Structure 1
């Protein structure tokens, strides 16, 4: 049975926040290393992904687009649920009422974002595609937050390789469908959430399939599949997230089309004016109200987005980066590596293999992507490429915990419509424990205007990749700083070695 359709408000008007009688509890902060988030640790100092439910209380990217863990708090866990009296009943799909038991269960998060936001969260139907380690983390956080329904789609069966970084699966599940096996454990986290398992292939779903969901989250899929899903969500005006992890590295992308939200803050001496703040952000309304002798400002904003194929694969960095050599040098080179990987997958329908031809091809592609982003050539070197190639296809639990927690947190922000969402690409570097945010958009219209027939913008695909040895390709990239002599022996790139795959600790 498909979940009922839910439509989030699409206007830019301000919705008055619901008052909560109790004062908010102070959020627990994770340890910080060098200004970046550190994965959760147990009492022995070992990184762990289990039992880490994260919810937002404030924006989690600073003005430079660097991820900050402030505002993350634990969500209700099974021990809290066990202490709630009364029978567990399925939550009504319309989300118009919240029972006393649910208020007790979700008390901490209601204090953070209010009753109206919690109602929206409990009315939400979410689709989550591919149940690997990253999706495990996302599912855990969303179910503990109390969404209305979670549909899991995965046509693959559990293998031994799935057991190292996924805490919903065990050896008993080998040979079973991944979505069905994980759904049984996910349901135990919160019986109030409807968890649905679908063992079919997402590519065999009709475009209308996606209309039943408020938010679609696609994880660990190739670029071609992501473009198909994003096109379907756009046609039905549904919000879309894509995410993937490769060992120490990963990304989050979102296309919210046009998203309205309201920020509540103390009124400053300088008035906030209605109008355009940046290329993607507009202030649509401003109101004030008195609370406890203070003047509170309610600022309604709207963010505009681009599709996956227009934004993630070929768009330039924002103008403020291109004008600043210092900011260009600070851009993570793993953005170029990820773009090269997506292009390789599109052309070859697989990830790079452990052979000289694939490694040379990938290196030249990454160098080309780096150049198209106007980044300094010396920031993409052989060590960066070697590290990225060694991590392709592997899963590391602390990395998926951070990425999954941040994505789930942003979904909660979007559903509640009271926090600044991601805009629109986050690149995570586990070596530095940093996640940097970049607004990647093509020239031309953004948001709904990209769907208009009069829009001349065509999907901007990656430059066509040519077979190795092609004279035109060699002429373009033959002078690359990362040539064959720097690549060295292919044995230096041990793709998918057991010591890199499915590790549970850094």
Structure 2
């Protein structure tokens, strides 16, 4: 009854299909959620669209940049008349039209000037298309305030999502298994903390409550736990994973966003090989042809790839708010060459 009072009859009718899927309590948590999007781009456009249409309470878009002609290729929330205006303000105005019930606001200041107190005001922080040092800084400030953090980027045919939900409790409802479920550790990051059996008609159902524990971005980039996989599984790891780390290292070392010369490309390939070794991965998963392809895609936004990644990221945000289903733990790597999006726990 408490959740029903939070949601009007009109809202229940509007979000009827969602409520049937994940329950009124989950919808009530979404309705009161306050989400921050740091930096705008093709990926953040898709995330904003999906979570606003789902009925989150409020969304703040933070970006100090101005709209350029290049932004119009992959960002459907921007139009030609927006060129020269602030990206956050231009995007927020059109996001608001998607769902008048969500409070949408724009912050045109520089994210680099924000303190931990600023991020403490939000329930979830999502940062896209940023350099690794900026992502680590925001992630650390979020952790100081026990706030969940997502990062992501669309890199041409490739992309990634990273999640640090710190410590997240969620429930899975399903038909009762014939196997007895024991409380305690289920994996290196997940524990079963409660099991409830209930009867629905002639069937028995079980509600299994689990807790997932996360590592920050800085720690995950130093992880070599994938090296414990079997050799055959190691050779199936996507080369996009070490390429993303190499992309960040290339920018740190050279100040350039992407390799543009043969010398740059050779250096980038060397950095990808180095990232493989850092992660404990066989260097055989990477070829010069792949690194050349990845390098060409850096700095490019493709709407279809952003839509896929944005859909996955938005769904995980909604799952987190609803406290239903297994969340991402903790990397999703999208490889457009194979049309695959494996999840890696680092």
TM-score by length of structure 1 reads 0.67
- CA distance in 2 between counterparts of 1:267 and 1:426 reads 30
Secondary structure in 2 matching 1:253: strand
Measured after TM superposition, the shift of residue 373 of structure 1 is 2.7
Aligned residue number for residue 199 of structure 2: 290
Q: Which of these residues, 58, 64, 74, is aligned with residue 165 of structure 1? A: 74
- CA distance in 2 between counterparts of 1:387 and 1:416 reads 39
Alignment map for 1:11-410 (pairs within 5 Å): 97-311=6-220, 313-318=221-226, 322-410=228-316
Kept after mapping to 2: 8 A contact 1:95/1:120: no
Measured after TM superposition, the shift of residue 375 of structure 1 is 2.6
- CA distance in 1 between counterparts of 2:209 and 2:252 reads 39
Aligned CA distance change for structure 1 residues 154 and 323 (closer, same or farther; 3 Å):
closer
Kept after mapping to 1: 8 A contact 2:265/2:292: no
- CA distance in 2 between counterparts of 1:438 and 1:375 reads 13
- CA distance in 1 between counterparts of 2:155 and 2:100 reads 32
Deviations 1:47-92, CA, capped at 9 Å, x for gaps = xxxxxxxxxxxxxxxxxxxxxxxxxxxxxxxxxxxxxxxxxxxxxx
Kept after mapping to 1: 8 A contact 2:171/2:324: yes
Kept after mapping to 2: 8 A contact 1:425/1:437: yes
Measured after TM superposition, the shift of residue 343 of structure 1 is 1.8
Measured after TM superposition, the shift of residue 96 of structure 1 is 5.4
What is the aligned-residue RMSD (CA, Å)? 1.5
Secondary structure in 2 matching 1:147: coil
Q: Which of these residues, 321, 333, 339, is aligned with residue 427 of structure 1? A: 333
Measured after TM superposition, the shift of residue 166 of structure 1 is 1.1
Kept after mapping to 1: 8 A contact 2:259/2:295: no
- CA distance in 1 between counterparts of 2:255 and 2:343 reads 28
- CA distance in 1 between counterparts of 2:5 and 2:309 reads 31
- CA distance in 2 between counterparts of 1:301 and 1:248 reads 34
- CA distance in 2 between counterparts of 1:397 and 1:96 reads 39
Aligned CA distance change for structure 1 residues 229 and 348 (closer, same or farther; 3 Å):
farther
- CA distance in 2 between counterparts of 1:133 and 1:392 reads 14
- CA distance in 1 between counterparts of 2:165 and 2:234 reads 26
- CA distance in 2 between counterparts of 1:121 and 1:226 reads 25
Secondary structure in 2 matching 1:433: coil
Kept after mapping to 2: 8 A contact 1:223/1:345: no
Measured after TM superposition, the shift of residue 416 of structure 1 is 0.2
- CA distance in 2 between counterparts of 1:268 and 1:348 reads 55
Measured after TM superposition, the shift of residue 314 of structure 1 is 2.0
Aligned residue number for residue 10 of structure 1: none
Measured after TM superposition, the shift of residue 377 of structure 1 is 2.6
Secondary structure in 2 matching 1:163: helix
Aligned CA distance change for structure 1 residues 385 and 353 (closer, same or farther; 3 Å):
closer
- CA distance in 1 between counterparts of 2:37 and 2:233 reads 35
- Structure 1 residue 416 and structure 2 residue 322: aligned? yes
- CA distance in 2 between counterparts of 1:347 and 1:212 reads 35
In structure 2, stretches of 5+ residues that fail to align are: none
Measured after TM superposition, the shift of residue 165 of structure 1 is 1.0
Kept after mapping to 1: 8 A contact 2:63/2:109: yes
Measured after TM superposition, the shift of residue 432 of structure 1 is 1.8
- CA distance in 2 between counterparts of 1:131 and 1:101 reads 32
Deviations 1:270-316, CA, capped at 9 Å, x for gaps = 111100001000001111111112111111100000001111x2211
Secondary structure in 2 matching 1:404: helix
Aligned residue number for residue 67 of structure 1: none
Aligned CA distance change for structure 1 residues 419 and 131 (closer, same or farther; 3 Å):
same
